[in-house]
Amino acid sequence: MRLTRRAALAGLGALALPGVARAAEQTRFPVGISVRPLAAFEPRRPEQRRFGALQFRSGLVLSSGHPRFGGFSGLARLNGGRDLVAVSDRGDWLTAKVASANGKLVGLEGGEMAAILGSSGRPLARSGRFDTESLCIHEGMAFVGIERKHEIVRFDWARDGVEAHARPVPVPPEIKRLPSNRGLEALGVMPAGPLKGALVAIAERSGKADEPTLGAILGGPQPGLFKLARHDGYDITDLAFLPSGDMLVLERWYQPLRGVGMRVRRIAGRDIRPGALVDGPRLIEADLGFEIDNMEGLSIHLEEGRTILTLISDDNFSFIQRTLLLEFELLP
């Protein structure tokens, strides 16, 4: 999402902190990450743990003194959730080890940020491709969506990690014609079913309010375009696949007088196919009566047989917003 629109979302504007220009010269650097635990997802009912089809496990408010920390729009948790990877909309990676105790998040250790590198080895942002909004990592390959350029790039994450160079992923011409600030916000690789191995990409909003948005199936046995239904003013901000092949979609709305809201829907994997219009039930919905912010990143991992959802918020580099890391369990 374009920073100018995010300024509206922040209310007072996306305020860059001092020193960003100097920090931009660094391509890889450690970051200290401070955390504040959230006692409850719904402060007015602190004893409540179940919300729709999800159970709240824990949450953290993240902060750092480094000016490039923030703006996280894509998220992945690897190795059983122990490793966290995020991308910021200024073209940076964040990597860290997730610390947990008694089933709750307690911190992020060994934090490091690095410029996402283009094919030449120079920071991707130097070519104007800094609006990196979506991330998925599947079988050692990382895929990143670049919103305003309507591009997808891939990285050999297993071999090179943050030192990997971008390689282009071909996209259909319809993706290139998306509105300039309504591009690809969600990426995932189908893990099962007829489309196993295909990369699925969905635009934030490709039409007017509540019109279906464009999705693309890239590669695999049945490439093509489909549409995802939208409702109630929500825009698409991320997706992640369950092992079964069902797709969870993270959504967000913003209204100046009401604030922000978030929702997660479940889309049956069998419904995703070229030419389809897909829709599905909501699993959770929340507004500012809950501990949410501008929720933009979603990841799924398995932990001792439980399906864990992790959400991260994009603080727009604004002092009135927060970087939240929320963890839920999907209930049977």
Q: Which DSSP string do the residues of 182-201 spell out, in sequence order?
A: S-EEEEEE--SSTTTT-EEE
Whole-model pTM: value is: 0.91
Domain range holding 110?
A: 3-330
84-109: buried (b, 16+ CB within 10 Å) or exposed (e) per residue? Answer: bbbbbbbbbbbbbebeeeeeebebbe
Check residue 206 and report its DSSP letter. Answer: S
Task: Flag whether pLDDT at 19 surpasses 80.
Answer: no
**Cβ atoms of residues 247 and 267 within 8 Å:** yes
What is the C-alpha separation between 88 and 94, in angstroms, rounded?
A: 8
Share of the chain above pLDDT 70, in %: 92
Taking the alpha carbons at both ends of the chain, their separation in whole angstroms is 34
The residue with tokens 């635990």 is 37
Residue 6 pLDDT: 40
What is the C-alpha separation between 252 and 73, in angstroms, rounded?
A: 12
Q: Per residue in 60-85, pLDDT tens?
A: 999 999 999 999 999 999 999 999 99
Instruction: Please give the average per-residue pLDDT across 112-133, as a whole number.
Output: 92
What is the C-alpha separation between 213 and 174, in angstroms, rounded?
A: 12
The SS3 call for residue 23 is helix
Q: What is the length of the chain?
A: 332
Check residue 123 and report its DSSP letter. Answer: B
**Any idea what the CATH number is for the domain that residue 285 is in?**
2.120.10
- Per-residue pLDDT band for 10 (boundaries 50, 70, 90) equals very low
Mean of the per-residue pLDDT values for the chain?
A: 91
Instruction: Count Cβ atoms within 10 A of the Cβ of residue 256 and give its class: 0-12 exposed, 13-18 middle, 19 or more buried.
Output: exposed
Q: Per residue in 182-241, pLDDT tens?
A: 789 999 999 999 999 999 999 999 988 889 999 999 999 999 999 999 999 999 999 999
The SS3 call for residue 154 is strand
- The total domain count for the chain is 1
Residue 24 pLDDT: 43
Query: Within 13 Å, how many C-alpha atoms sit on residue 65's CB side?
Result: 2
